[in-house]
């Protein structure tokens, strides 16, 4: 095979360049094994802030981005990380469909295959399958800095000759080699595809050609790609065969079975044939191009003995998680105070500009106060996801998944489920979608149903509000902050209950044998700060977008439900009272008017209607109103409470005023409505209740069943209510409140 990318452009290169100019955009599909730095390279190419992590399943759906090379536009498609193109899980089917042009209008113009320089022999298996697709291919060789530190030397020109495609070394996190990679991709467009490098036995190759030709001529179907013919013969019973059966029917199925029977008669075991043929060729390539010193234990191996220990590893994991959540309070407070002050000033200024009435109340109480009461918690969210990004990019999270496999196997799940559950701490939506990497359908459905139990970012503002207001800022044993410990316990609650729910599901709805768990442990490394900052920005901005859409709309709705229908009659009655009252009584009458409006509003009527149901939890009818209002999205409870407790002109629903208003609430007998037991009851309810429309919609999309949606909502709401009931009843008796 000859090397590619000649030094000087030929006439064909000129023709290709003219063709590129005629088109507006070309497609580059990025494919590679998990943990190869694929998504980091995608970010470097496109400038997008795609999340990266050291474990499979981070990129579940194909992400899109653009870049330009000398005026030519390219659309980059980041596929799910996969070890091969023998699809078994749904995310691997996404990769195969896009590469073959079956899930888009055309096949990709060029495929960018990402290989890890420290594990070239393992990564080349996927490349041998990619080269069978018939597309131009460019190889990006990542982790070259780690390979150099390990004493691994790779002969790049020799590797290019043996592969038949360009090979470009890159360090994506430092942007080294990225310009050269873009140029290589641009040159590859329009060139001929390299021939498949792996020599299969003649008998097998003949059957592949016979099957492809027979199916092409049958019923006028378009030519069957050689890649699909190979996969059909080898991957018996897989997703490709299921799709093939639907398309070609009984005739095609008979041809396929006949080809397999002829191969079996020659003594060929197809899965073993593929593995042996590919790795035989891979071994020859690695022997000619890679120089690797004898393996010696590294500092990463030494750390692994500790962090993956069945006892000390678990202790370290819990300690790291506790430290992470403890840091949220101490690091984010100064920024929170600044945001709180800003929204207070904005509310006072707006109230002074707008005339008194419904418009002023809507803008100040509904919009500014409601959204401001949520945005004030963005610093905590940024700190939380910054710390999690550090743990992911350093390589620790993969160890946590490996460690948790021992725990989760007790409840019928594997470590594969830990990764989607961990993602659900950010948001249940990507967590549920990450279950596509779980091959076993029963494990996948079980993980989907328990993923919403993880405390997502939307719950964090609720926790912080009630912890700051009602949990004392004191230490336990002189070293552990009670507020941080409470926050950690709330996050731990879902993590502890999820396996119990999973065990129940696996012993009832989803009985079956567990599947083995395989996970690659990447080497420990210093986190890339660009990745960490991107993650903080991306998660914070996503939260703000929700505050500007769902939360704002719900806040306005809550304002309307709490302001109408009797606002005109109430306003006229209190206007007459204020006209006859001395100046010192004016403020009291304003407060009474606000209370009268609330009691007679639509929301007040609904809150009083459910009061008997929520009183056993320690809640009054106003808390019931806020909970009802927050069913579309958990974080809306902040805006709802801010609107409900706006008791006069100049009051702000931001953190300080809102906490003061809640502390001032009393039952008719004078007892405070909010106590530590009530606060814990509320937080436990929000920790376990499925109050998120986006999560339920994602469950419907991933399971294609309204039944699983109903099951999730019913069991989580029931679990939340019963747990909140137990917390309040026990807590109030212990504290005497």
Average pLDDT over residues 136-143: 93
Q: Are 65 and 411 in contact (CB under 8 A)?
A: no
pLDDT digits (tens, 9 = 90+) for 341-372: 888 788 888 878 888 777 877 787 677 866 77
Domains of the chain (ranges; CATH) run 11-188 (3.40.50.300), 204-267 (no CATH), 312-507 (no CATH), 547-735 (no CATH)
Its pTM surpasses 0.75: no
Give residue 615's pLDDT: 92
Query: Looking at the predicted structure, is the pLDDT value of residue 238 above 80?
Result: no
CB atoms within 10 A of CB 195: 10
Average pLDDT, the chain: 78
Give residue 20's pLDDT: 45
Select from 220, 427, 223, 467 the least CA-distant residue to 325.
467
Select from 395, 405, 419 the least CA-distant residue to 300.
395
pLDDT digits (tens, 9 = 90+) for 647-692: 333 333 345 777 888 888 888 888 888 888 999 999 999 999 887 7
Query: Looking at the predicted structure, is the pLDDT value of residue 190 above 80?
Result: yes
Average pLDDT over residues 75-85: 83
Instruction: Tell which wins on pLDDT, 377 or 26.
Output: 26
Give residue 652's pLDDT: 34
Least confident range from 46-60, 254-268, 291-305, 588-602: namely 46-60
Give residue 647's pLDDT: 39
Separation between Cα atoms, residue 341 and residue 335, nearest integer Å: 10
Instruction: Tell which wins on pLDDT, 397 or 113.
Output: 113
Give residue 5's pLDDT: 31
Residue 462: its H or E element: helix 460-470
Query: Looking at the predicted structure, is the pLDDT value of residue 61 above 60?
Result: no
Percent of the chain with pLDDT over 70: 80
Give residue 313's pLDDT: 85
Query: Looking at the predicted structure, is the pLDDT value of residue 590 above 90?
Result: no
Least confident range from 277-291, 406-420, 484-498, 644-658: namely 644-658
pLDDT digits (tens, 9 = 90+) for 437-480: 676 778 888 999 999 998 887 788 888 888 888 888 777 766 77
Select from 496, 601, 612, 615 the least CA-distant residue to 558.
601
Percent of residues in the chain assigned helix, strand, coil, to nearest 5: 65, 5, 25
Average pLDDT over residues 504-523: 71
pLDDT digits (tens, 9 = 90+) for 164-187: 999 999 998 788 999 999 999 999
Query: Looking at the predicted structure, is the pLDDT value of residue 542 above 70?
Result: no
Q: Are 140 and 181 in contact (CB under 8 A)?
A: yes
Give residue 517's pLDDT: 57
Separation between Cα atoms, residue 559 and residue 550, nearest integer Å: 14
How would residue 51 be classed by pLDDT, with cut points 50, 70 and 90? Answer: very low
Give residue 368's pLDDT: 80
User: CA dihedral in degrees (482, 485, 489, 490; nearest 10)?
Assistant: 70
Give residue 648's pLDDT: 37
Separation between Cα atoms, residue 618 and residue 679, nearest integer Å: 9
pLDDT digits (tens, 9 = 90+) for 259-299: 888 888 888 888 788 888 889 999 999 999 999 887 666 67
Least confident range from 546-555, 559-568, 592-601, 662-671: namely 546-555
Separation between Cα atoms, residue 670 and residue 664, nearest integer Å: 10
Give residue 426's pLDDT: 67
Instruction: Tell which wins on pLDDT, 590 or 682.
Output: 682
The string over 458-475, giving b where at least 16 C-beta atoms fall within 10 Å of a residue's C-beta and e elsewhere, is bbbbbbbbbbbbbbeeee
Percent of the chain with pLDDT over 90: 16
Give residue 286's pLDDT: 92
pLDDT digits (tens, 9 = 90+) for 239-259: 777 777 777 778 788 888 888
Q: Are 182 and 67 in contact (CB under 8 A)?
A: yes
Average pLDDT over residues 378-407: 78
Give residue 264's pLDDT: 86
CA distances from 201 to 18, 193, 321 (A): 41, 22, 53
Q: Are 350 and 361 in contact (CB under 8 A)?
A: no
Query: Looking at the predicted structure, is the pLDDT value of residue 395 above 50?
Result: yes
Query: Looking at the predicted structure, is the pLDDT value of residue 423 above 80?
Result: no
pLDDT digits (tens, 9 = 90+) for 697-715: 778 877 878 899 899 999 9
Query: HEC profile for 162-214?
Result: HHCCCEEECEHHHCECHHHHHHHHHHHCCCCCCCCCCCCCHHHHHHHHHHHHH
Using only the alpha carbons of the chain, give its radius of gyration: 30
Average pLDDT over residues 148-166: 91
Residue 78: its H or E element: strand 72-78
Give residue 89's pLDDT: 60
Least confident range from 206-210, 287-291, 356-360, 393-397: namely 356-360
Give residue 47's pLDDT: 77
- Interacting residues of 393 by C-beta distance below 8 A, sequence separation 6+: 52, 53, 54, 525, 527, 528, 531, 532
Give residue 185's pLDDT: 94
- Interacting residues of 453 by C-beta distance below 8 A, sequence separation 6+: 494, 495, 497, 498, 501, 688, 716
Give residue 49's pLDDT: 46
Helices 676-688 & 706-735 angle (0-180, nearest 10): 170
Residue 271: its H or E element: helix 270-289
């Amino acid at each position: 095979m000859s090397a590619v990318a000649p030094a000087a452009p030929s006439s064909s290169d000129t023709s290709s360049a003219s063709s590129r100019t005629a088109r507006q955009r070309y497609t580059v599909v990025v494919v590679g094994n998990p943990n190869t730095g694929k998504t980091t390279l995608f970010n470097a190419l496109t400038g997008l802030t795609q999340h990266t992590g050291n474990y499979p399943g981070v990129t579940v759906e194909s992400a899109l981005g653009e870049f330009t090379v000398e005026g030519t536009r390219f659309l980059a498609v980041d596929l799910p990380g996969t070890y091969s193109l023998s699809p078994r899980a749904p995310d691997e089917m996404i990769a195969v469909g896009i590469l073959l042009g079956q899930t888009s209008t055309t096949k990709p113009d060029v495929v960018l295959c990402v290989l890890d320089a420290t594990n070239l022999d393992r990564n080349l298996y996927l490349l041998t399958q990619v080269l069978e697709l018939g597309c131009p291919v460019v190889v990006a060789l990542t982790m070259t800095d780690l390979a150099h530190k390990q004493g691994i030397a790779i002969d790049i020109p020799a590797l290019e000759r043996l592969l038949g495609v360009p090979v470009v070394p890159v360090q994506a996190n430092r942007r080294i080699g990225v310009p050269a990679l873009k140029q290589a991709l641009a040159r590859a467009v329009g060139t001929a595809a390299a021939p498949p490098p792996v020599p299969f036995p003649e008998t097998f190759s003949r059957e592949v050609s016979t099957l492809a030709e027979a199916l092409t001529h049958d019923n006028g179907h378009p030519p069957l790609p050689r890649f699909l013919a190979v996969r059909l013969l080898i991957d018996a019973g897989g997703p490709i065969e299921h799709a093939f059966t639907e398309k070609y029917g009984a005739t095609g199925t008979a041809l396929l079975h006949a080809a397999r029977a002829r191969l079996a008669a020659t003594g060929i075991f197809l899965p073993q044939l593929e593995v042996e043929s590919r790795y035989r060729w891979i071994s020859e390539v690695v022997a000619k191009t890679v120089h690797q010193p004898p393996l010696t234990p590294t500092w990463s191996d030494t750390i692994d003995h500790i962090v993956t220990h069945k006892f000390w590893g678990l202790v370290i994991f819990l300690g790291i998680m506790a430290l992470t959540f403890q840091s949220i309070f101490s690091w984010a407070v100064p920024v929170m105070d600044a945001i709180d002050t800003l929204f207070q000033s904005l509310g006072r200024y707006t109230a002074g500009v707008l005339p008194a009435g419904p418009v002023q109340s809507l803008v100040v109480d509904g919009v500014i106060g409601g959204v401001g009461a949520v945005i004030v918690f963005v610093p905590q969210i940024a700190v939380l996801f910054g710390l999690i990004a550090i743990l992911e990019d350093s390589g620790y999270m993969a160890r946590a998944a490996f460690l948790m496999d021992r725990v989760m196997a007790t409840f019928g799940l594997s470590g594969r489920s830990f990764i989607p559950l961990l993602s659900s701490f950010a948001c249940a939506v990507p967590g549920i979608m990450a279950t596509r990497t779980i091959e076993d359908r029963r494990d996948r459905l079980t993980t989907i149903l328990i993923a919403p139990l993880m405390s997502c970012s939307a719950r964090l503002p609720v926790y912080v509000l009630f912890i700051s207001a009602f949990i004392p800022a004191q230490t336990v044993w002189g070293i552990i902050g009670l507020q941080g410990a409470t926050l950690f316990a709330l996050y731990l609650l879902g993590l502890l209950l999820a396996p119990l729910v999973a065990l129940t599901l696996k012993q009832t709805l989803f009985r079956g044998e567990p599947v083995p768990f395989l996970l690659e442990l990447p080497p420990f490394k210093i986190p890339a700060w660009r990745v960490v900052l991107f993650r903080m920005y991306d998660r914070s901005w996503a939260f703000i977008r929700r505050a500007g859409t769902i939360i704002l709309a719900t806040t306005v709705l809550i304002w309307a439900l709490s302001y109408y229908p009797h606002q005109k009659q109430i306003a006229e009655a209190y206007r007459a009272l204020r006209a006859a009252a001395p100046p010192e009584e004016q403020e009291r009458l304003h407060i009474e008017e606000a209370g009268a409006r609330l009691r007679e509003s639509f929301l007040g009527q609904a809150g009083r209607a459910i009061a008997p149901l929520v009183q056993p939890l320690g809640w009054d009818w106003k808390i019931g109103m806020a909970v009802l209002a927050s069913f579309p999205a958990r974080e809306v409870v902040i805006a709802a409470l801010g609107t409900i407790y706006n008791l006069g002109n100049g009051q702000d629903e931001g953190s300080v005023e809102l906490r003061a208003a809640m502390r001032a609430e009393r039952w008719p007998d004078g007892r405070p409505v909010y106590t530590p037991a009530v606060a814990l009851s509320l937080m436990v309810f929000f920790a376990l209740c499925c109050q998120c429309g986006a999560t339920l919609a994602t469950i419907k999309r991933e399971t294609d069943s309204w039944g699983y949606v109903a099951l999730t909502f019913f069991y989580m709401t029931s679990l939340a209510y019963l747990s909140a009931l137990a917390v309040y009843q026990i807590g109030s008796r212990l504290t005497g409140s």
